[in-house]
């Protein structure tokens, strides 16, 4: 199979990067994401994992991918897939509110970009949260990282994280 690529964008900040799908390591997850593209949603900056931005989506796969190519220590440029129940993310500590679609009994998919080193997927509420590494940024990571740091300092309100096929 030929390599497949996607574009990751912070729309308001007009910053883009290109990622290669890791079909050889996470074929089921890559197929699920690819088939669901384009995807776009409000961006959040992580509280627990450190150097991560992500968007939340309703479940889009016919069945949830198995934990293929898992990690709890993502590296810069990793794209990770997480599946949560609405109950797991429904406490006020997360701050999503009703607009995000996070509700008890509703599956939520978290597509994340890790933009710097020293990440640890350990959540104080639930413990270790392994993610599926399904893509790797191959172009534009420095620009994305700069914009992600700006999200951390200036805020994410009004910004959109977008994934689309190239």
Per-domain residue ranges of the chain: 5-165
Q: E strand or H helix at 28, and its extent?
A: helix 27-36
* pLDDT digits 0-9 by tens, 58-99: 999 999 999 999 999 999 999 999 998 866 665 655 656 555
The percentage of residues in the chain with a pLDDT greater than 90, rounded to a whole number, is 78
- Considering all CA atoms of the chain, what is the largest pairwise distance in Å, rounded to the nearest integer? 44
- What is the architecture, at CATH level 2, of domain 5-165? Beta Barrel (2.40)
Residue 1: per-residue pLDDT = 73
Residue 49: per-residue pLDDT = 81
Reduced to 3 states, what is the DSSP secondary structure of residue 9? strand
* pLDDT digits 0-9 by tens, 126-143: 889 999 999 999 999 999
Residue 130: per-residue pLDDT = 97
Q: Model-level pTM?
A: 0.92
User: What is the b/e burial string over 93-124, where b = at least 16 CB atoms within 10 angstroms of the residue's CB?
Assistant: ebebeeebebeeeeebbbbbbbbeeebebeee
């Amino acid at each position: 199979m030929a390599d497949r690529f996607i574009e990751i964008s912070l729309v308001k900040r007009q910053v883009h990067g290109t990622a290669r799908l890791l079909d050889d390591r996470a074929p089921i997850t890559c197929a699920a994401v690819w088939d669901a593209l384009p995807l776009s949603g409000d961006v959040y900056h992580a509280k627990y994992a450190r150097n991560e931005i992500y968007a939340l989506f309703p479940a889009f796969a016919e069945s949830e991918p198995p934990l293929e190519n898992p990690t709890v220590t993502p590296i810069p440029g990793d794209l990770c897939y997480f599946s949560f129940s609405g109950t797991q993310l429904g406490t006020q500590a997360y701050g999503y509110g009703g607009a995000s679609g996070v509700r008890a009994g509703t599956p939520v998919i978290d597509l994340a970009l890790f933009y710097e080193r020293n990440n640890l997927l350990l959540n104080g509420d639930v413990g270790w949260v392994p993610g599926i590494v399904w893509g790797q940024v191959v172009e534009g990571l420095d620009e994305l990282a700069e914009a992600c740091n700006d999200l951390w300092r200036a805020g994410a309100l009004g910004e959109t994280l977008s994934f689309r096929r190239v």
